[in-house]
């Protein structure tokens, strides 16, 4: 006959053993990383983008550029201590408005009669998530003389250019294009991701309007985009850093045949644009790198100068605390390979539509 004490001890031991097994048994990725945004997951620090590896990328892959002669002003001081990763608010679509300027009123939505003001005040909200709105130095049309004249916008991550946009047509723009455009959490067309084993989506094409559209659309010609916050009215450091970084990026892109100036629409290459405040100017300089997808996820006919098909934007890597001596590494590894050189110090966040991961 088994005593009550023996029974209780056996039961307790069995329970403890089960708990230990449960604790030691590894969980699958879908349990360990909570799924968000239609199957996308929040990437833990260190897992969103690969870090450069000296054994693969060369012993000098994480070194500062030795030939850089561009320097920030001596009084250029920023926050070097606060943790960066995972503290940016997520966004679905990024809309760049062509203004031809490099600085703007403090809040670009306060620019009277502008497309930016209309986005804020028109009363029509995007239905596919948060819209990040940036004024940019992209040249507007030649007949653009005031904020209310027709201008051009660039939508990301679809890499779509929409022309003939006015404040009056902003509601139509949102309903016809922004609501249906791919977002940061839309799986890449016909791609395989960690959270979408097989995604039979199709490349983005604007839906046919129910009535004649006032807009003209075309794909952005560039394979990569570098966006630099230049808004001096928000913080002088942004106005100081942006032109210096652009000069250094250009120095490294020209020998590769990748540099494109503001008037250069040759297919492929890198477009460098100044944009308005994106937050975190105390971590200046803020740099956003948009990388386009490859042949497998591109619509037919969208090709670079090398004959490669270019698809939608697959990644955005948002960096901060960028200095001129970082530019070479950002070109070699972040822009061209999707790797990060100094993740602990510089990576604020971003998304990877191929992996199905975001930082928020």
The model's pTM is: 0.84
Percent of residues, the chain, with pLDDT higher than 90: 75
> CA dist 70 to 67, 246, 284, Å?
9, 11, 16
- Under the banding of pLDDT at 50, 70 and 90, the label for residue 199 is very low
DSSP conformation letters of 211-275: S--S-EEEE-S-SEEEEEE--TTT-HHHHHHHHHHHHHHHHHHGGGT-EE-TT---SSSEEEEEE
Angstrom distance (rounded) from CA 90 to CA 317: 13
Q: What is the largest CA-CA distance in the chain?
A: 99
DSSP 345-358: HHEEEEEETTTTEE
Strands (E), the chain: 35-36, 40-42, 93-98, 131-136, 151-156, 160-165, 216-219, 224-229, 259-260, 270-275, 287-292, 313-319, 347-352, 357-358
CB 50 within 8 A of CB 341: no
Task: Give pLDDT, residue 205.
Answer: 62
Q: Residues 69-119: pLDDT tens digits?
A: 999 999 999 999 999 999 999 999 999 999 999 999 999 999 999 999 999
Residue among 88, 93, 257, 254 nearest 159 (CA)? 93
Q: Say which residue the tokens 């088994």 belong to.
A: 2
Contact partners, residue 75, CB within 8 Å, separation at least 6:
none
Does the pLDDT at position 266 exceed 90?
A: yes
> Which of 25-34, 43-52, 308-317: highest mean pLDDT?
43-52
Strand, helix or coil for residue 146? coil
Taking only the tens place, the pLDDT of each residue in 309-344 is: 578 999 999 999 999 999 999 999 999 999 999 999
The neighbour count for residue 202, using CB atoms within 10 Å, is: 9
Return phi, psi of residue 318, to 5°.
Answer: -105, 115
**For position 37, what pLDDT does the model report?**
56
pLDDT digits (tens, 9 = 90+) for 250-265: 999 999 999 999 999 9
Average pLDDT of the chain is: 86
Q: Is the confidence at residue 169, as pLDDT, over 70?
A: yes
**Residue 258 in tokens:** 């990748």
Cis preceding-peptide flag for 85 (omega within 30 of 0): no
Higher pLDDT, 146 or 300: 146
Model pLDDT for residues 1-28, shown as the tens digit of each residue: 444 444 444 444 454 444 444 433 444 4
pLDDT tens per residue, range 154-163: 999 999 999 9
Higher pLDDT, 36 or 166: 166
pLDDT at res. 36: 59
């Amino acid at each position: 006959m088994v005593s009550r004490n023996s029974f209780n001890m056996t039961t307790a031991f069995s329970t403890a053993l089960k708990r230990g097994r449960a604790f030691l048994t590894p969980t699958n990725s879908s349990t360990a990383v909570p799924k968000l945004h239609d199957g996308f997951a929040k990437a833990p620090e260190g897992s969103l983008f690969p870090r450069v590896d000296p054994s693969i990328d060369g012993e000098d892959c994480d070194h500062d550029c030795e030939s850089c002669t561009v320097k920030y002003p001596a009084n250029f001081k920023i926050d070097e201590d606060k943790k960066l990763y995972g503290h940016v608010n997520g966004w679905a679509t990024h809309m760049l408005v062509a203004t031809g300027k490099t600085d703007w009123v403090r809040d670009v939505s306060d620019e009277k009669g502008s497309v930016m003001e209309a986005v804020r005040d028109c009363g029509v909200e995007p239905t596919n998530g948060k819209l990040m709105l940036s004024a940019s130095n992209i040249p507007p049309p030649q007949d653009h003389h005031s904020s209310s004249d027709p201008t051009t916008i660039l939508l990301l991550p679809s890499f779509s250019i929409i022309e003939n946009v006015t404040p009056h047509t902003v509601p139509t723009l949102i309903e016809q294009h922004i609501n249906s455009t791919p977002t940061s959490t839309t799986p890449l067309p016909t791609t395989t991701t960690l959270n979408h084993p097989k995604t039979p989506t199709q490349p983005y094409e604007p839906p046919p309007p129910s009535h004649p559209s006032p807009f003209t659309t075309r794909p952005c010609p560039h394979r990569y985009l570098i966006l630099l916050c230049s808004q001096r009215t928000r913080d002088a450091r942004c106005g100081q850093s942006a032109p210096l970084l652009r000069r250094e990026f250009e120095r490294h892109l020209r020998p590769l045949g990748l540099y494109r100036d503001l008037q250069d629409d040759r297919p492929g290459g890198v477009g460098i644009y100044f944009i308005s405040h994106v937050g975190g100017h105390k971590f200046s300089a803020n740099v956003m790198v948009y990388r386009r997808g490859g042949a497998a996820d591109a619509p037919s006919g969208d090709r670079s100068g090398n004959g490669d098909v270019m698809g939608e934007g697959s990644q955005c890597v948002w960096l901060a605390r960028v200095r001129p001596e970082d530019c070479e590494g950002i070109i070699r590894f972040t822009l061209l390979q999707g790797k990060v050189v100094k993740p602990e110090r510089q990576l604020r966040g971003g998304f990877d539509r191929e992996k199905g991961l975001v930082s928020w």
